[in-house]
């Protein structure tokens, strides 16, 4: 066959090739298999991230703006109450040198915060070392639970500051008395939450432990501790909040170096801006302590 004069079969092949090139193949584009789950588009990632950022950032900012606006309006109607701008200027000046020392009764706010945290750490640590094991024993043994129930019910509602004179009388010093108040105030949530966690353990677990003839140590490490850990962490979070709340009031009465004494000293000097700053400092430190415990709970979670 001559290439310049193709036959019928050659013409058909050429026309088929032309048709395949000219006709677009749309069968490659198929709709998503599930209409409720469309394929993600690259162009929608940025709006989705923007929406998530809006939900995370805008509501807290609006809440803080509303709080500052109300504060500013109240300060305008009351000249003795400093407004947000005046308090901010005092805070910048105060935290420019937070660790100065001009004598035992004139120290920077940084030293006062550290002194309060030291007392809280000692009192809270003593409460944890005592309250958590006691809570395990109370929840584990019914006789001990019945024996301690009236004591806990009687002493738990007592105001923390009511324990301060007892501490001063027995310990003969202000600093140990403040630590005693923290200890006796923060021990109850740990005891109660830990014991409740032990009592909520399914009885089947304990029956299996009896069948396997496990020792008390293995029952504690294999059954009690993993199951009670969420309750225990909740008690610790409640206790750290109580401890940080109590230390301010205790230091106001005992004196010395601490955020509570610093607030009382600034009140005697009629420095209201510093009192407001101390309120924010106490709130921020308490929030940081609680968030640290939340991270600790996630790290040691058995789930």
Number of Cβ atoms within 10 Å of the Cβ of 236:
24
Q: Whole-angstrom Cα distance, residue 241 to residue 223? A: 28
Q: Give yes or no for a contact between 94 and 101, defined as CB atoms under 8 angstroms apart.
A: no
Nearest to 275 by CA among 287, 286, 263: 263
Sequence-separated (6 or more) residues with CB below 8 Å from residue 230: 197, 297, 301
Q: What share of the chain is helix, strand, coil (3-state, %, to 5)?
A: 80, 0, 20
Estimate to the nearest angstrom the gap between the alpha carbon of 42 and the chain centroid: 36
Token duo for residue 147: 């024996």
Sign for the CA dihedral angle at 278, 281, 287, 289 comes to negative
Contact 223, 209 (CB under 8 A): yes
Model pTM? Answer: 0.74
| CA atoms of 118 and 302, how far apart (whole Å) | 31
DSSP state of 40: P
Q: Of the candidates 290, 287, 292, 186, which has an alpha carbon nearest to the alpha carbon of residue 243? A: 186
Give the start-to-end residue ranges of the domains of the chain: 113-299
d(CA 15, CA 6): 12
From the list 248, 249, 264, 273, the residue with the least C-alpha distance to 71 is 273
Topology of domain 113-299 in CATH is MetI-like fold (1.10.3720)
List the pLDDT tens digit at each of the 303 positions of the chain: 444 444 545 445 544 544 444 444 444 444 455 545 555 555 556 677 777 777 778 888 899 899 999 999 998 888 888 999 999 999 999 899 888 888 777 788 889 999 999 999 999 999 999 999 999 999 888 899 999 999 999 999 898 889 999 999 999 888 899 999 999 999 999 999 999 998 888 888 888 888 888 887 888 888 888 888 888 888 998 899 899 989 888 888 887 788 988 998 888 888 899 999 999 999 999 889 888 887 877 776 555
Give CA–CA dist 140/279, Å, rounded.
41
């Amino acid at each position: 066959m001559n290439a310049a004069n193709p036959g019928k079969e050659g013409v058909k092949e050429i026309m088929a090739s032309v048709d395949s090139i000219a006709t677009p193949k749309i069968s490659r584009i198929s709709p998503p298999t599930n209409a409720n789950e469309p394929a993600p588009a690259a162009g929608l990632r940025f709006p989705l991230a923007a929406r998530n950022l809006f939900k995370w950032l805008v509501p807290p900012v609006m809440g803080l703006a509303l709080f500052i606006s109300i504060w500013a309006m109240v300060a305008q109607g009351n000249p003795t109450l400093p407004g947000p701008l005046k308090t901010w200027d005092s805070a910048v000046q105060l935290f420019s040198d937070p660790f100065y020392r001009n004598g035992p009764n004139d120290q920077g706010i940084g030293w006062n915060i550290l002194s309060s945290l030291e007392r809280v750490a000692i009192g809270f640590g003593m409460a944890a070392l005592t309250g958590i094991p006691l809570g395990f024993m109370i929840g584990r043994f019914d006789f001990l639970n019945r024996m301690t129930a009236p004591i806990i019910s009687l002493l738990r509602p007592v105001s923390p500051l009511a324990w301060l004179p007892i501490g001063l009388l027995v310990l003969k010093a202000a600093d140990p008395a403040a630590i005693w108040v923290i200890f006796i105030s923060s021990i109850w949530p740990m005891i109660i939450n830990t014991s409740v966690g032990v009592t909520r353990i399914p009885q089947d677990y304990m029956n299996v432990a009896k069948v396997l003839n496990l020792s008390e140590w293995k029952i504690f490490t294999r059954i009690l501790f993993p199951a009670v850990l969420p309750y225990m962490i909740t008690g610790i979070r409640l206790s750290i909040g109580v401890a940080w709340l109590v230390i301010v009031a205790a230091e106001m009465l005992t004196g010395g170096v601490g955020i509570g004494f610093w607030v009382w000293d600034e009140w005697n000097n009629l420095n209201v801006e510093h009192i407001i700053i101390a309120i924010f400092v106490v709130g921020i430190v308490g929030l940081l302590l609680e968030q640290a415990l939340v991270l600790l709970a996630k790290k040691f979670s058995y789930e």
